[in-house]
Amino acid sequence: MKQFDHVSVVKKANIYFDGKVTSRTVIFPDGSQKTLGIMLPGEYEFGTAAAETMEILAGEMTVLLPGHTDWLTYRSGDSFQVPAESRFKLKVSVVADYCCSYDANK
């Protein structure tokens, strides 16, 4: 799926870490939301509310998921899941383009 159709897009960006991480919110007809984002090289820590699925569209990121001791690297085409109400760490070495889906059921 190269594009999302029949959606709404919030004009204003979500801006974190002085703009090194930014995203746009996409709202689907069923009310669910995804964000399309960019992470520039750097190290970041995020917290989740809902569970998230992160899909890497370009670039790569190395991730320390909650409860894990090993950092895992995800590249273009890979996905990983983050539990609700948790925190995870990311190291980005090349510009990463991602799509984050929020799970309403977890």
Q: With H, G, I as helix, E, B as strand and everything else as coil, classify residue 66.
A: coil
CB of 66 to a copy of itself, least distance (A): 27
Query: Is residue 75 within 8 Å of residue 37, measured between CB atoms?
Result: no
Dihedrals phi, psi of 96, to nearest 5 degrees: -115, 130
Looking at beta carbons only, is 72 or 94 nearer to a copy of itself?
Answer: 94
Contact set with a copy of itself (CB under 8 A) = 1-13, 15, 18-20, 22, 24, 26-27, 36, 38, 40, 57-58, 95, 97, 99
CA-to-CA dists, residue 31 to 7, 28, 81, 104, angstroms: 10, 5, 21, 10
CB of 86 to a copy of itself, least distance (A): 25
CB of 38 to a copy of itself, least distance (A): 5
